[in-house]
Amino acid sequence: MILVLEPNTDPQGADWRILERQLARLPGIQYRVHREVGSEVTLTEVYLIGNTAALTVEQMQVLPTVAKVVRVSEPYRVLGRHKQGDDRASSFEYNGVRFGQDTLNVFAGLCAVDSRESVEEMMQALQAHGQTCTRMGAYKPRTSPYAFQGFGASCLPYVFELAGKYGIRVIAMEITHESHVDEIRAALQACGNPTGVMLQIGTRNTQNFELLKMVGKQQEFPVLIKRGFGITLDESLNAAEYLATEGNRKVVFCLRGMKTNMGDPHRNFVDFSHVPVVKRLTRMPVAIDPSHSVGTRARAPDGLLDIFHVVAQGVIAGANLILVDFHPDPAHALVDGPQALLLSELRPFLDDVAIARDGYERRTKLAREQTAH
Ligand code: PEP
Ligand code: MN
């Protein structure tokens, strides 16, 4: 059971102390408090754990400062959307960029950092097209131990410095080990925090529970967690819940295709029809990764790349974030060159995204008008 308190409830106030005393008296019930400090309001939620079946919604509703009581019916207790009109806000802001189930942010960038020059060319192009987010892989989990593993901490100083120079506010960056978070924090501090980082949990680590717990304990960086490519959706959503239950609610869930021959000739079976499903089951913003789903620059007879087609499918279904590979010189990229879009394709890509987003907005407007009648 979750008690949603009145906005800006004072944690030192008299009402709060009365509430605490009442909660302490409930037999077999423990509670955990979560505070979300926003720019305008602070939201407080109290999670009751234990024999909550014995409590009634009415009984809890009358306690001081309680605005709403939500009985948790789904397995994703923190991130899930529960019954009884659970319309709790799900968005968060990070380094001046808002992420929610109603926003759309594009993270176009390098799969892997392979030189200072390609980082600079990429960021220059992003700035020229009004973009403030990107993806840059420094730690690459590779199938072959002989493949390029990423430059790791050594590239962070120039990646962050260039991000500051070109007005990039958030970089999605995969981490595969606890120590990478410390390296990222230290590198950001060393160059005066010119940008922000969204930590990425890759599909190979979706169920690396110790990594999830560690990343969930820190609340400085938001997290983008990829769906596991060979597990059920339920298992992947539970993995996201690990982050949240440790305290970090700034979580984005990313669809990136599933491993199955049914997806051939794409690298993975594209699963973007699950965008609205994840938005219904949880309060997380939902990302799509067309590059790792499709894996090629194949073009349909209508002239559009398969990557453009799947992006449009995800966006017209309400996707909130697009993680997409670009490279100034894909033929010489050290990782995933065959799926990278060219810098000359950035403008057409963004224009195509805008068409799909407009379509989504018109569709939801129509649906609202229909249900209002
Ligand atoms: C990536 O985004 O660089 C990546 C390796 O993706 P995934 O974990 O989905 O394979
Ligand atoms: Mn890649």
pLDDT the model gives residue 67:
93
Which pLDDT score, from 0 to 100, does residue 73 have?
65
Q: What is the predicted pLDDT for the residue at 87?
A: 67
pLDDT of residue 49: 87
Ligand 1 centroid – CA 13 distance (Å)? 46
Q: Which residues is 106 bridged to in the sheet? A: 322
Residue nearest to atom 9 of ligand 1 (CA): 203
Q: Is 291 in the pocket of ligand 1 (CB under 6 A)?
A: no
Token representation of residue 350: 């963004």
Query: Closest Cα to atom 4, ligand 1: which residue?
Result: 202
Please name the helix (run of DSSP H) or strand (run of DSSP E) that holds residue 310, with its range, or none. helix 306-316
**In this predicted structure, what is the pLDDT of residue 225?**
98
Q: Of the bound ligands, which one is closest to the alpha carbon of residue 175?
A: 1
- Give the number of the atom of ligand 1 that is nearest the alpha carbon of residue 203: 8
User: Does the beta carbon of 174 sit less than 6 angstroms from any atom of ligand 1?
Assistant: yes
Please name which ligand lies nearest the alpha carbon of 340. Answer: 2
Ligand 1 proximity of 137 Cβ (cutoff 6 Å): yes
Contact between 286 and 105 under an 8 Å Cβ cutoff? The reply is: no
Pocket perturbation via mutation, ligand 1, pick of 208, 289, 324 by most ligand atoms within 8 A of CB:
289
User: Side chain identity at 335, as an amino acid letter?
Assistant: V
Q: Using a 6 Å cutoff on CB, does residue 202 contact ligand 1?
A: yes
Alpha-carbon span 250 to 299, nearest angstrom: 36
Ligand 1 lined by 292 (C-beta under 6 Å): yes
Distance 203 CA to ligand 1 centre (A): 6
- In a 3-state reduction of DSSP, which class is residue 328? coil
Residue 203: CB within 6 Å of ligand 1?
yes
The minimum-distance atom of ligand 1 relative to the CA of 202 is 8
ω before 276 within 30° of 0 (cis)? no
111 lines ligand 1 (CB under 6 A): yes
**Closest by Cα among 364, 365, 367, 354 to 104:** 354
DSSP string, 214-238: HHHH--SS-EEEEPPTTS-HHHHHH
pLDDT at 85: 63
Distance of CA 147 from the midpoint of ligand 2 (Å): 12
Cα 99 to ligand 1 centre (Å): 20
Is any atom of ligand 1 closer than 6 Å to the C-beta of 226? yes
Q: How far is the CA of 12 from the centre of ligand 1 (A)?
A: 44
Residue with tokens 């944690």: 11
Residue with tokens 């990222």: 184
Residue from 107, 148, 176, 203 to probe ligand 1 pocket by mutation (most atoms less than 8 Å from CB): 203
Nearest ligand, measured from the Cα of 335: 2
What per-residue confidence (pLDDT) applies to 82?
77
Pocket test for ligand 1, best of 107, 134, 143, 174 (most atoms within 8 A of CB): 174
Q: How many whole angstroms separate alpha carbon 333 and alpha carbon 339?
A: 10
Ligand nearest to the CA of 337: 2
Ligand nearest 204 Cα, by number? 1
290 vs 166: CA distance, rounded Å:
25
Q: Two tokens at 145?
A: 């131990």
Quote the ligand 1 centre to 347 CA distance (angstroms). Answer: 24
Per-residue pLDDT of the chain (373 residues; tens, 9 = 90+): 999 999 999 988 999 999 999 999 999 999 989 887 777 888 899 999 888 888 999 999 999 999 999 888 667 888 988 776 666 667 899 999 999 999 999 999 999 999 999 999 999 999 999 999 999 999 999 999 999 999 999 999 999 999 999 999 999 999 999 999 999 999 999 999 999 999 999 999 999 999 999 999 999 999 999 999 999 999 999 999 999 999 899 999 999 999 999 889 999 999 999 999 999 999 999 999 999 999 999 999 999 999 999 999 999 999 999 999 999 999 999 999 999 999 999 999 999 999 999 999 999 999 999 988 7
Which atom of ligand 1 lies nearest, measured to the CA of 172? 2
